[in-house]
Structure formats: C-alpha cells, structure tokens
Amino acid sequence: MTAAFLFVYGTLRSDHAGPVADRLRREGRLIGPATTAGALYRIRDYPGLVPGGNAKVVGDLYALGDPQSTLAWLDDYEECSPAFPRPWEYRRALIPVAGPRAQVDAWTYIYARDVTPLERIEGGDFLTPR
C-alpha cells in the first residue's frame, strides 16, 4: 500500500449521514476539505467522479490508520472487489488531491461507465443543494 489517504466526494463525506460514512469517520481521521481536478456526475442518489480537466471536485481527505482493511470494506461497498462481477461501476485509483496543507496522492473511487446520459454536477460539490 503506497498511500494512507482517501479522498471522498459523495455519500462518504464527513457531512453526510449514513452508516458507511459513520464507519469511515470512526476508522479514519478527517484531515479536512480537499479538491481534485475532475468532473462530478449525478448517477442516482450518489455521484461519480471522472478525473482530469480544469474543473474541481470538492470532497474530504481522510488519513487511514489501517488502509488495507478500510479499503477492503470500501471496495465491497463500492462493489469493485473481486466478490463482484465485472464490469464494475467504480474502480479505485490513486489521484493527486489538494488537501488543507499540501497536495497528496490519495485513493478514491472513479466512475468507470459512460457519463454521456448523466447530469453533470456544476461546481463539483455533491453536497450543495440543486
């Protein structure tokens, strides 16, 4: 494991209520707000990140105390572990993230399907009301 950071931009953010976000708050240490280059799309009641470009996606940066364990259950949650058939909706990758103190490489979940029919979330913040 080369990084102990995780960038979350949707239902796992620190301000989002839910059992999986609660577990992440217990197991990880919130570093603070962060951004990455990319576009955010509304899938249904959750978003998908496509990295790259000039736009910014807003999220939270976590430090993971036990990255191997935390990422394993998150892979199951995101349905991109070996237990799930391909093609997966997401894939986990390291991306550059601008955190509150410095830029770091952080794990995140990248949307792996066609975004053409999806609504782009302008401003790149899933938690901003429509």
Among all chains, which residue has been given the structure tokens 């976000």?
A: 21
Q: What is the CATH number of domain 5-120?
A: 3.10.490.10
CA 58 → CA 13, 45, 66, 83, 121, distances in Å? 10, 17, 24, 30, 11
pLDDT of residue 129: 79
Pairing relationship of beta strands 47-64 and 5-8 according to DSSP bridges: antiparallel
112 close to 49: Cβ distance less than 8 angstroms: no
How do the pLDDT tens digits run along the chain, 130 residues long? 456 999 999 999 999 989 999 999 999 999 999 999 999 999 999 999 999 999 999 999 999 999 999 999 999 999 999 999 999 999 999 999 999 999 999 999 999 999 999 999 999 999 987 7
pLDDT of residue 76: 97
Which runs of consecutive H residues, i.e. helices, occur in the chain? 19-27, 67-77
pLDDT of residue 3: 60
| pTM of the complete model | 0.95
- Name the packing angle between helices 19-27 and 67-77 (round to 10°): 170
Alpha-carbon span 1 to 16, nearest angstrom: 27
